Amino acid sequence: MKMRLPWRVLTPHTPPVRTASSVPAGALNFVPACSSTDAHSVELLQDFVSRACRLFVITGAGLSTESGIPDYRSEGVGLYARTDRRPMQHAEFVRSAKSRQRYWARNFVGWPQFSSHQPNCAHRALQRWEESGKLHWLVTQNVDALHSKAGQRRLTELHGCAHRVMCLGCGVITAREELQTKFIALNPDWRAQAGVVAPDGDVFLEDKQVLHFRVPSCEHCGGILKPEVTFFGDTVNKSTVQFVHDRLAESDTVLVVGSSLQVYSGYRFLLAASDKKIPIAILNIGPTRADHLTGLKVSGRCGEVLSVIQPL
């Protein structure tokens, strides 16, 4: 399993004041439109969870939108719909010092807000399911640390975590918070206004603003520092994938929460579950790539639905 570093001690989160943004504050702005889940669907999901002894849960961006972190794909409210921004590509990050400078400058500005997000009632519900012995393993595609902030321990962060930084040279892992201190020391006069923060902590800045932003290298080997996050175009570590397959093989039921499963790295576990004839349920707003593999699809807000399901 991957090493997990603590994040800084958090003070209660006050919503940031937005001065020059078209996006108003408030978490539900990033949650797609959805009517309340009907009682019958909730009952069916309760039955499904009640029958599970070793529940395997996969979560995605839909869980974190309720904590105020936008996703990329949601209809109307995701970043793809609202902006022309696209996530950083792995190859571009490795190849181009200029891209890394732009990436880190934006990430530096977005960090105070991104790192202050708190788990919501969906994260807390899943943590209680673990505590009660219902949940065998949780795999998240999110990199926002909200599951570990909620106290989840039987957890794999499939795409890494933005709260950690990795050196591409020597592989050493450090806390993102430490890097923030270095950024401040290296860029004492650097000022920029935070705009819209992306799922990976990125924000929007003009190119001319980032020209003079200084990025430190690894203090052990001088290597390139990268968030310990799987960027688009990169692949998830083989041993992590195998580890998750092993946890899945020990499970008797699979529940997807807040993911459209568009990315293969998560979808492959649904294919594996289907091959093994493990029952699958999905709780998500909107269609998913695995709808044809599931016996139960519930459309609804993760927090609203999970907080009324009992891990009996």
Interaction between residue 221 and Zn ion (CB under 5 A): yes
**Residue 53: CB partners within 8 Å, gap ≥ 6?**
134, 252, 253
Distances (CA, A) of 62 to 27, 99, 250, 286: 12, 28, 26, 10
Helix axes 97-114, 176-186, angle to 10 degrees: 110
Closest residue by Cα to residue 110 from 210, 224, 204: 204
Determine, following the binding rule CB under 5 A, whether residue 165 of this chain makes contact with Zn ion.
no
Site string for Zn ion, 110-149 (x = CB under 5 A): ----------------------------------------
Query: Which distant-in-sequence residues (6+ apart) come within 8 Å of 278 by Cβ?
Result: 56, 248, 251, 252, 253, 254
Judged by CB under 5 A, does residue 216 bind Zn ion?
no
Q: 151 with 127: CB under 8 angstroms?
A: yes
- What is the per-residue binding string for Zn ion in 77-96, x denoting contact by CB under 5 A? --------------------
> Which listed range, 63-71, 104-112, 159-167, 271-279, lies at the site for Zn ion (CB under 5 A)?
159-167
Contact 74, 63 (CB under 8 A): no
Q: Tell me the per-residue interface mask from 229 to 268 with Zn ion, x by CB under 5 A, - otherwise.
A: ----------------------------------------
Q: Smallest gap, in angstroms, from Cβ of residue 230 to Zn ion?
A: 19
In a 3-state reduction of DSSP, which class is residue 160? strand
Q: By the 8 A CB rule, do 80 and 72 touch?
A: yes
Which residue's CB is nearer to Zn ion, number 43 or number 219? 219
* Pick 79 or 225: Cβ nearer Zn ion: 225
Which position among 145, 218, 236, 256 is part of the footprint of Zn ion (CB under 5 A)? 218
Give the nearer residue to Zn ion in terms of CB position, either 169 or 286. Answer: 169
Give the one residue of 86, 98, 220, 276 binding Zn ion; rule: CB under 5 A.
220
Q: Tokens for 146?
A: 């909200």
> Rule CB under 5 A: is residue 170 a binding residue for Zn ion?
yes
Q: Which stretch binds Zn ion (CB under 5 A): 119-127, 160-168, 236-244, 247-255?
A: 160-168
List 161's β-bridge partners, or say none: 228
The tokens describing 17, both together, are: 């004041």
What are the structure tokens assigned to 303, written together?
């927090």
169 binds Zn ion (CB under 5 A): yes
- Residue 161 phi/psi, 5° resolution? -150, 130
- Stretch binding Zn ion (CB under 5 A), from 107-115, 153-161, 219-227, 238-246: 219-227
Q: Of 167 and 198, which CB lies nearer to Zn ion in the complex structure?
A: 167
Nearer to Zn ion, 221 or 249 (CB): 221
Catalytic-labelled residue, pool 117, 159, 163, 212: 159
Nearer residue to Zn ion within complex by CB, 175 or 272: 175
Residue 163 is a catalytic residue? no
C-alpha span between 270 and 219 (Å, rounded): 41
Name the residue type at position 6.
Answer: P
Q: Which residues are annotated as a binding site for NAD(+)?
A: 60-80, 141-144, 258-260, 284-286, 302
* Lookup: tokens for 295: 């016996």
CA-closest candidate to residue 174, choices 120, 228, 255 = 228
CB of 186 to Zn ion, least distance (A): 17
Binding site for Zn ion (CB under 5 A): 167, 169-170, 218, 220-221, 223
Which residues participate in catalysis according to the annotation? 159
